[in-house]
Amino acid sequence: MISTNRETAPQPTVPLGAAWVAEALRLAGFHVKFLDLCFLPDPLRAVEDTLASFAPGGIALSVRNLDNCNLLDPRSYLPEVRDVVRLIKARCDARILIGGAGVSILPHQVLEYLDLDYAVVGEGERAAVEFFSAPDADAAGEVAGVVPRKGAQRQLGDPAPIAGEGLVTPRLHGWVDAKRYLTREPVLPVQGKRGCARHCLYCTYRMIEGSTWRVRDPAAVADEIVETMRHTGAREFEFVDSVFNEPEGYLELLLEEVLRREVKARFCASSLSPKGLTAAQLRLMERAGMTSLVITPESAAGATLAALQKGFDEDEVNRAAELLGRSRLRALWCFLVGAPEEDEETLGRTVAFLNRHVGSKDAAFITTGIRIYPGTGLHRLALREGRVQADDDLLMPSFYFSPKLTPERARVLLESGVRHGRCIHLTDTQAPVLGTLRRIGTALGLPTPFWRYAGYAQRALRWGRV
In degrees rounded to 5, what are phi and psi of residue 69? 55, 35
Which value, to the nearest 10 degrees, does the dihedral of the CA atoms of residues 173, 178, 179, 180 take? 150
Q: Are 324 and 358 in contact (CB under 8 A)?
A: no
Give the chain's count of helices (H) and strands (E).
Answer: 19, 17
Beta pairing class for 399-400 and 118-120: unpaired
> Would you state the pLDDT for residue 463?
57
Q: Which value, in Å, is the radius of gyration of the alpha carbons in the chain?
A: 22
Q: Residues near 449 by Cβ (< 8 Å), separated by ≥ 6?
A: 187, 268, 291, 292, 330, 332
> Would you state the pLDDT for residue 433?
62
Domain borders along the chain are 2-148, 186-465
At position 199, the amino acid (one-letter code) is: H
Picking from 165, 323, 174, 178, the residue whose alpha carbon sits closest to that of residue 238 is 178
Measured in whole angstroms, the distance separating CA 175 from the mean position of its chain's CA atoms is: 19
Q: What is the spatial distance between Cα 164 and Cα 217, in angstroms, rounded to a whole number?
A: 7
Q: Are 52 and 90 in contact (CB under 8 A)?
A: no
> Would you state the pLDDT for residue 460?
60
Q: Residues near 18 by Cβ (< 8 Å), separated by ≥ 6?
A: 1, 3, 34, 36, 60, 62, 100, 175
Write out the E strands in 138-265.
146-148, 188-190, 193-194, 214-215, 236-239
Q: Are 193 and 253 in contact (CB under 8 A)?
A: no
Look up the CATH number of domain 186-465.
3.80.30.20
Q: Residues near 384 by Cβ (< 8 Å), separated by ≥ 6?
A: none
The pLDDT tens digits along the chain (466 residues) read: 999 999 998 889 999 999 999 999 999 999 999 999 999 999 999 999 999 999 999 999 999 999 999 999 999 999 999 999 999 999 999 999 999 999 999 999 999 999 999 999 999 999 999 999 999 999 999 999 999 998 645 455 555 677 767 889 999 999 999 999 999 889 999 999 999 999 999 999 998 999 999 999 999 999 999 999 999 999 999 999 999 999 999 999 999 999 999 999 999 999 999 999 999 999 999 999 999 999 999 999 999 999 999 999 999 999 999 999 999 999 999 999 999 999 999 999 999 999 999 999 999 999 999 999 999 999 999 999 999 999 999 999 999 999 999 999 999 999 999 999 899 988 877 766 667 777 788 888 888 888 887 776 666 656 555 4
For the 2-148 domain, the top CATH level (class) is alpha beta
Measured in whole angstroms, the distance separating CA 162 from the mean position of its chain's CA atoms is: 19
